[in-house]
Structure 1
Amino acid sequence: MSNGKDAAPPLWLYDFISPFSYLLLEQHDQWPGVPFELTPISLYGLYRHWGQRPGYEVPQRRIFTFRYALFRAEQLGIPFKMPPAHPFDSTKALLLATAAQGDLACTRAIFRFIWREGRDPSTDEGFADLCQYAGVPDGERLIALEETKAQLQRNGEEAIRLGIFGVPTFRFNDQLFWGEDALPMVLYCARTPNWLESKEVKRISTLPFGDMP
């Protein structure tokens, strides 16, 4: 890693159900100047694999998460409007983005439909409106293709193989950077890749488990 170059294509993995994925993509002009592959995955698939409990099932965490997303949006000057209910089924939106093959404009439009316009993409009416909003009038046909479904499945399987546990996540220089607030760390490591090879970073990265009560 000392040469600062990725050993594998840099990825940005996301799910439209995540407001923090939306906020991070809205800061795309601040990302490191490398061609990240925009990769849609199912957050629920990660939860199932790793045995995690969705945060929205914990009442006070749910409230804090929504408040913090709004706070971050206001601090960043990013328009933000929650969809009418959360969680919602993001499958159709993920399939539409998969069919778009990582197109930035389409991905951004889908996020904005949900988190700027405050719309639900899971209903028949909502998805039809989303397809028009994103400029993909044949979206229903595209998401029904077996190859589209298979590609989204492959995305999820590859994410698990890479150890992805949440979204949004950058995979850069074979390392994972999770969360909207990890952008400064991504930028720092892009400029100073040897930091991840420092003695203390290596020590805490292999810290043993202690005893739990």
Structure 2
Amino acid sequence: MSVVWYFDFISPFAWLQWPHIKALAEERPVTLRPVLLAGVLDRVGQKGPAEIPAKREFIYRHVLWRARQAGYPLHFPPRHPFNPLAALRLCIAAGSGVPATEAIFDWIWGQGREGDTIEALAPVATGLGIAEPAAAVADPAVKAQLKANFEAAMAEGVFGVPTLSIDGRLFWGSDAHDFALACLRDPDLWEEAEMHRVAHLPVGASRL
């Protein structure tokens, strides 16, 4: 089965799911695809959670609580939301594998460091063996790969991050991870009669 994880370093919920993705990657191949959340939101016509003031405050409190409950280190970066392009491109330049993803996530969310410029991420780049970080993230091939990741996400119908895709079936959010694993173990679960029925419910009312 094809297993793909779409994520953006801007998302603290992606950081919460990351340990589970690492564990899954030890059991089977998992393709890690960094994508720009802002581009996804623009394409689907949706505001980001941090763009709604009351929702932003709640989410920050909630994610801190969830991290404490799970025993994960979580320290917010100095500013949020921030521009994650440098981090996304650095991840791709370093191969988009577990080591690069882990290093960048840990820098931003484990240690609470800035991740919005390649200068801020220079220590991470050095640790990943990238001698010229600015040149690496400016590489046209790296930019093209980030765009290709985005187009792949759009082709699958991704509407937010983190999203785990299992043979094209999308599981959005870190709290959907157990559901994803259940469907991975039992693919027929997705197509049970009631699952199928609710997925095709008629719309009773809609806002203009």
Give, in whole Å, the separation in 1 of the partners of 2:117 and 2:150: 23
After TM superposition, the score normalised by the length of structure 2 is: 0.93
Q: Please say if 1:140 is aligned against 2:134.
A: yes
Tell me if structure 2 keeps the 8 A contact 1:46–1:160. Answer: yes
Give, in whole Å, the separation in 2 of the partners of 1:162 and 1:91: 22
1:169 corresponding residue in structure 2: 163
Task: Report SS of the residue matched to 2:165.
Answer: strand
Tell me if structure 1 keeps the 8 A contact 2:22–2:98. Answer: no
Aligned counterpart for 1:152 among listed residues 146, 152, 176:
146
- Larger deviation, residues 128-137 vs 43-52: 128-137
Matched letter for residue 26 of structure 1: P
Q: Please say if 1:11 is aligned against 2:4.
A: yes
Aligned counterpart for 2:174 among listed residues 172, 180, 192:
180
Give, in whole Å, the separation in 2 of the partners of 1:83 and 1:156: 25
Any idea what the Cα deviations from partners look like across 1:140-177, whole Å, max 9, x if unmatched?
A: 22111101101101110110111000011100032000
Give, in whole Å, the separation in 1 of the partners of 2:10 and 2:178: 23
Any idea what the Cα deviations from partners look like across 1:44-101, whole Å, max 9, x if unmatched?
A: 0001100001111211100111111111111111111000010101001000111222
Give, in whole Å, the separation in 2 of the partners of 1:27 and 1:123: 27
Q: Tell me how large the CA RMSD over aligned residues is.
A: 1.6
- The answer for unaligned runs of 5 or more in structure 2 is none
Give, in whole Å, the separation in 1 of the partners of 2:172 and 2:136: 30
**% identical aligned pairs:** 38
Matched letter for residue 69 of structure 2: Q
Matched letter for residue 121 of structure 2: F
After TM superposition, the score normalised by the length of structure 1 is: 0.91
Aligned length: 206
2:90 corresponding residue in structure 1: 96
In structure 2, the CA distance between the partners of 1:139 and 1:205, relative to structure 1 (3 Å rule), is same
- The answer for unaligned runs of 5 or more in structure 1 is 1-5
Q: Which protein has greater RCO, CA pairs closer than 8 Å, 6+ apart? A: 1
The offset of 1:135, in angstroms, is 4.2
